C-alpha cells in the first residue's frame, strides 16, 4: 500500500493503536491483535470542523478499544488495563491543573513574558509529573508508533523491524505539537471572560490542529519549523523514548494489520486478494 494513506496512532502501556480514515488496529505485548472498521466521515475534508467532529470518536476509540481494551490473557489484560487506567487518571489530573492555571491567568493585565510563563509553566510541570508517574513502556510505545508511521511513509516494510527502528522518533503530526501550541495559545484564552474560555479553548485546539497539519505538510519551510519547534523538542525529551526491538515489533504489527484492513475496505467491489 502506498505511504500516502494518512495514519494516526495512540501509545498504550502494553502496545500500540493505529488508525486510518477507515480502519483501526491494536497490537499488544501479549501477542494479540484486534482490528475494526471505521465509518467514513462527511466532514473529513472540512478544516477545523473535521477536528471537532473527530475528537469524540478518536477519544472513544483510544480509551475504549486501546487503553481499556482486552488482550489475549485475562491476568495480563487486567494488569495492562490497570497501567493504562493509571495513565488516564494522572493525565486527567494534570490537565485539570494545567487548564485551571491557564484560565486563571489574565492576559490583559500581565506583561507578555509574565503571562507566557504563567500559562506555559504549569503545563511544563504537568508534563514532567506525567512522565514520572506513568509507565515507562507507554513512552517507548509512543516512540515505536512514530517510528512505524515514519518508516511506512518512507516505504519501509513493516516486517523489517530493524529498519523501522532506524526511522525518526520525532514526528511532525504528533499531538504533542498541538499541545505545545495550545499551551501558548492559552494565554489569549485566559484574557477572555470566563463564560467564553472553554468554547474558545476548544476552537483554539481545532485551529491549532489545522496549523500543525499544514506545517507538517511543508516541514522545510521556516514558518513550519517555527510552528513545530516546541512540539518536536517535547517529543524528543519528554513524550517519547527509544523502544526496544520487541516493542517496535508490536508497533509494526499494529500498523500492518491496520493497513491491511484499510486496503480491503477501500478496494473496488470484486477485488481479489492474493
Residue 107 confidence (pLDDT) above 60: no
The torsion defined by the Cα of 126, 130, 132 and 134, in degrees rounded to 10, comes to 170
pTM: 0.78
Higher pLDDT, 119 or 124: 124
Over residues 76-90, the pLDDT tens digits come to 566 677 777 777 776
Per-residue pLDDT, 194: 62
pLDDT tier at 273, thresholds 50, 70, 90: very low
Give the Cα separation of 232 and 237 in Å (integer): 9
At 109 the pLDDT is 56
- For every residue of 118-136, DSSP letters joined together read HHHHHHHHHHHHHHHHS-H
More confident residue, 223 or 97: 223
Average pLDDT, the chain: 79
Per-residue pLDDT tens over the stretch 55-71: 667 778 877 787 777 66
Mean pLDDT, rounded, for 187-207:
70
Asked if residue 235 lies in contact with residue 176, where contact means CB atoms within 8 angstroms, the answer is: yes
Tell me the C-alpha distance between 254 and 49, whole Å. 28
**Model confidence pLDDT, tens digit, residues 6-19:** 898 999 989 999 99
Amino acid at each position: 500500500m502506498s505511504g500516502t494513506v494518512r495514519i494516526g496512532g495512540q501509545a498504550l502501556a502494553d502496545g500500540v493503536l493505529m488508525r486510518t480514515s477507515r480502519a483501526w488496529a491494536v497490537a499488544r505485548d501479549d501477542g494479540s491483535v484486534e482490528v475494526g472498521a471505521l465509518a467514513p466521515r462527511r466532514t473529513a475534508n472540512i478544516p477545523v470542523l473535521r477536528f471537532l467532529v473527530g475528537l469524540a470518536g478518536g477519544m472513544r476509540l483510544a480509551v475504549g478499544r486501546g487503553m481499556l481494551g482486552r488482550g489475549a490473557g485475562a491476568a495480563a489484560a487486567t494488569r495492562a488495563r490497570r497501567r493504562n487506567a493509571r495513565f488516564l487518571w494522572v493525565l486527567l489530573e494534570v490537565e485539570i491543573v494545567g487548564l485551571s492555571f491557564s484560565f486563571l491567568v489574565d492576559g490583559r493585565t500581565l506583561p507578555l513574558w509574565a503571562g507566557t510563563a504563567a500559562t506555559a509553566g504549569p503545563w511544563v510541570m504537568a508534563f514532567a509529573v506525567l512522565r514520572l508517574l506513568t509507565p515507562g513502556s507507554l513512552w517507548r510505545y509512543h516512540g515505536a508508533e512514530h517510528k512505524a508511521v515514519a518508516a511506512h511513509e518512507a516505504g519501509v516494510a513493516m516486517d523489517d523491524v530493524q529498519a523501522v527502528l532506524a526511522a525518526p522518533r520525532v514526528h511532525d503530526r504528533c499531538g504533542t505539537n498541538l499541545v505545545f501550541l495550545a499551551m501558548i495559545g492559552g494565554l489569549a484564552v485566559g484574557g477572555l471572560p470566563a463564560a467564553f474560555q472553554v468554547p474558545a479553548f476548544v476552537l483554539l485546539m481545532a485551529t491549532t490542529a489545522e496549523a500543525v497539519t499544514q506545517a507538517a505538510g511543508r516541514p522545510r519551510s521556516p514558518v513550519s519549523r517555527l510552528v513545530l519547534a516546541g512540539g518536536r523538542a517535547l517529543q524528543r525529551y519528554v513524550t517519547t523514548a527509544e523502544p526496544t526491538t520487541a516493542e517496535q515489533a508490536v508497533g509494526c504489527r499494529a500498523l500492518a494489520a491496520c493497513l491491511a484492513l484499510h486496503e480491503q475496505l477501500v478496494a473496488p467491489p470484486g477485488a481479489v486478494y492474493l
